[in-house]
Amino acid sequence: MSKYSNIQAVPLSLQVFLANDSYDHNSDPTVISVTSLIKPVRQLILSSRLNHDESSVDLTQMVASRLGTAIHDGIENSWSKYKEAMTVLGYPQKVIDRVVINKPVDQVTEEDFPIYFEQRTERKVGKYTVSGKFDFVENGMVEDFKTTSTFTFMNGKNDEKYRLQLSIYRWLNPKMITDDRGAIQFIFTDWSAIKAQSDPKYPQSRIQRKYFDLLSLTETSNYITKKIRDIEFYFNTAESSIPECSDDELWRSDPVFKYYKDPTKTVRSTKNFDNKQDAYTHLAIMKVGTVIEKPGSVTSCRYCSAFSLCTQKDRLIASGELTV
């Protein structure tokens, strides 16, 4: 059971909300959830070495998670009265009558419009069990709800993780999830109508759907097999032997190429470039100075549960690539 601190003096009314964990966790170390499986091997293994009995989490750190859970629960509860809602929304009665909720796959007929939500499925892979609970499946297409920032949507750093997550759900439920595409339903916590009007690249609605082409069942199986093999191999090895997180896993930004007119004064660059070619073209035109490549910054470490045990993050902090 998690221990909580209350440094920010959250009132009792919200303390209970933030400390209430309704998720169906499984403490069996041989059971790996889908959301854990798509994490970097380094994060997954080091997190398992934390002494959770001696650690505590401040209640304010639970806000994002609890809001997400509350929205998930609200969506699921709303479907208990789907007939009334669909009638108000203007759906024809003949369409409403076709909807069936969580009907066993082998009992679904051609006339049915099957809807599934919050179904947990497990599948054995060697000594491990992969366990996953999707959010929603509509007529064969899997959907997942993400309560998040517009920045997360726009920078796309999590897109590959989303694709893997949806693909593994299909691998767990191949008869229920039959569409080759899946969707993430983004519900933005910081959406701005003013920004939407001024920036066409900004989400144009508080709710945005994004489709992903799923991996084939064979590709997904290969990914899972390799990931579990890596977990088994490195699980009891020294921290220094565990593969470091890749640039993609670190959410590393693009490098910056800094031009300095006076090579002896590199405190502040004369001009910055997004790519090496432009920077060196400028250097050739100026015929004086130097170009220094500054690696892109990383950000995912700030949100990693294994932060305290990881020496890779220490090196990134020392180099200036990670700021905390």
- The string over 225-243, giving b where at least 16 C-beta atoms fall within 10 Å of a residue's C-beta and e elsewhere, is eebbebbeebeeeeeeebe
Query: Cα–Cα distance between 228 and 236 in angstroms, integer?
Result: 14
Span 288-314, average pLDDT: 92
Residue 1 pLDDT: 55
Residue 56 pLDDT: 72
Determine the straight-line distance between the first and last CA of the chain, rounded to whole angstroms.
28
Span 18-47, average pLDDT: 88
Residue 185 pLDDT: 96
Please give the C-alpha separations between residue 291 and each of 258, 263, 269, in angstroms, as whole numbers: 5, 9, 9
Query: Cα–Cα distance between 185 and 206 in angstroms, integer?
Result: 10
Whose structure tokens read 């700021």? 323
Positive or negative torsion for Cα 27, 175, 37, 322: negative
Q: Is the confidence at residue 274, as pLDDT, over 70?
A: yes
Span 136-143, average pLDDT: 95
Question: What domains can you pick out in the chain, each with its CATH number?
Answer: 4-239 (3.90.320), 254-319 (no CATH)
Q: Please report which confidence band the pLDDT of residue 29 belongs to, taking 50, 70 and 90 as the band edges.
A: confident
Residue 37 pLDDT: 95
Positive or negative torsion for Cα 78, 84, 88, 90: positive
Q: Please report which confidence band the pLDDT of residue 267 belongs to, taking 50, 70 and 90 as the band edges.
A: confident
pLDDT, mean over the chain? 92
Residue 138 pLDDT: 94
Span 102-110, average pLDDT: 93
Residue 266 pLDDT: 87
Backbone φ/ψ region at 289: left (φ over 0), alpha (ψ -120 to 50), beta:
left
Residue type, 67: L
Q: Please report which confidence band the pLDDT of residue 4 belongs to, taking 50, 70 and 90 as the band edges.
A: confident
Please give the C-alpha separations between residue 33 and each of 36, 41, 62, in angstroms, as whole numbers: 5, 13, 20
Residue 316 pLDDT: 94
Q: Is the confidence at residue 53, as pLDDT, over 90?
A: no
